[in-house]
Structure 1
Amino acid sequence: MTQTKIAWDSGKPIWERLPECYKENNIALWLTSYFDSLLVDTKAKIDDLPRQLNPLECDEVWLDVLAPLCGFTEVYWDKTWPTSSKRLLIYNSYLNIWPGKGSKEVLSLILDCFNIQHLITSRGNFIIGTSTTGDPLGTSAWEYIIYLPTIYRNRTQFKLTQRLNTLYGPCWCSSEIIFNDSYFS
């Protein structure tokens, strides 16, 4: 083992590498102890950085640091959201959320991140250029419906669904939120 490795393993990287004549002096130990602990703590934080950059394993305080790095600006992020939801949003950001933003699938994924029971269905069909009845594009809008359990009425889940629908739902479509328990077991 090298002297450097032995010094770091002992938790005294400076003191262990001093000449032997200084190691016998208690003042040398006292002078180096603060800097030894500072170096050991700093090295531990640097060694822990890969874990902190993983949203599924990082400490909770790191989630709000990682959010802007993953595209969640203040409009798309709320620091009061549950930790589990924050982890899933950041984890899915680059592979699923941002590439598919504006689709029913992404909206459903985001509602799942918040454990909001839902069902998203289409009302009518959308064909580029014409509707199913042959009318020119624009005479009948494509619509989708978000079904929620009636227990969500006048609760935070309903308001959050409205907000997430505005942020992540298809913007060229009209939508409606309907409470109906028959879709949920």
Structure 2
Amino acid sequence: MQTSESWATNKPIYSRLPECYQTTEATEWITGYFDELLLETKVKVDDLSRQLDPLLCDIEWLDFLAPLTGFTGDYWDKTWATQTKRLLISNSYTKIWPNKGSREVLSLVLDCFDIRHLITSRGDFILGTSTTGDALGTSAWEYIIYLPNAYKYGDKFKLTQKLNSLYGPCWCSTEIIFNDDYITEF
């Protein structure tokens, strides 16, 4: 019997035995456990490509995939929400690690955690707030993270501080300001 035919019978070991052995009950009893074990293993192996996709894998696989995509130590927490983990892992090689330290990556990571925010460079012109007499661009290496007042000194504020230290532009001074006027709804 060919390999594909033996798997189709759901008895890959038993179906390959000579016919004289297939007529006894003892043979089926002896091979039954191993046939089931092989079938379960084959299902898992065939499903491996799905498990390596962070957007489709089972929840248990996310913590396994994290170190494979660069998230170790302070960069990963097993208690984070499932959707956050999926977004971080799926964006790791294409957006996060190649551009780490940029304002765009910091904003992307904050979005992964559903943290409403606005990031501006100090000296940016803000319509309706800045006057034309302001000295624009005098401090190009400073940036501000605006958060809603509701986050004031809560868990999302602490998480923003942590994520800013891990993913924000380094060698820059930063300030976190709570102000609902700058934050728009998603």
Q: TM-score under structure 1 normalisation?
A: 0.88
Could you tell me which runs of 5 or more consecutive residues in structure 2 were left unpaired when the two chains were aligned.
Answer: 125-135
CA contact (8 A) 1:124 1:142 kept: no
Q: Which residue of 2 aligns with 1:109?
A: 108
Question: What code does the residue aligned with 2:39 have?
Answer: V
Q: Which residue of 2 aligns with 1:48?
A: 47
Q: Which residue of 1 aligns with 2:90?
A: 91
Q: Which residue of 2 aligns with 1:156?
A: 155
Q: Which residue of 2 aligns with 1:36?
A: 35
Measured after TM superposition, the shift of residue 132 of structure 1 is 5.5
Work out the number of aligned pairs and report it: 173
Question: What code does the residue aligned with 1:156 have?
Answer: D
Q: Give the 4+ runs in structure 1 shifted more than 2 A.
A: none
Q: Which residue of 2 aligns with 1:120?
A: 119
Partner Cα distance (1:49, 1:93) in 2: 20
Measured after TM superposition, the shift of residue 50 of structure 1 is 0.5
CA contact (8 A) 1:88 1:113 kept: yes
CA contact (8 A) 2:121 2:144 kept: yes
Question: What code does the residue aligned with 1:69 have?
Answer: L
Q: TM-score under structure 2 normalisation?
A: 0.88
Question: What code does the residue aligned with 1:172 have?
Answer: W
- Aligned-residue CA RMSD (Å): 1.7
Question: What code does the residue aligned with 1:6 have?
Answer: E
Q: Within 5 A, what are the aligned runs for 1:166-177?
A: 166-177=165-176
Q: Deviations over 1:135-164 (max 9, x none)?
A: xxxxx5721110111111132111111100
Partner Cα distance (2:2, 2:42) in 1: 17
Question: What code does the residue aligned with 2:52 have?
Answer: L
Question: What code does the residue aligned with 2:82 have?
Answer: T
Partner Cα distance (1:164, 1:83) in 2: 18
Partner Cα distance (1:141, 1:91) in 2: 31
> Percent same amino acid at aligned positions?
66
Question: What code does the residue aligned with 2:61 have?
Answer: W
Partner Cα distance (1:35, 1:152) in 2: 56
Question: What code does the residue aligned with 1:147 have?
Answer: Y
Partner Cα distance (2:55, 2:140) in 1: 40
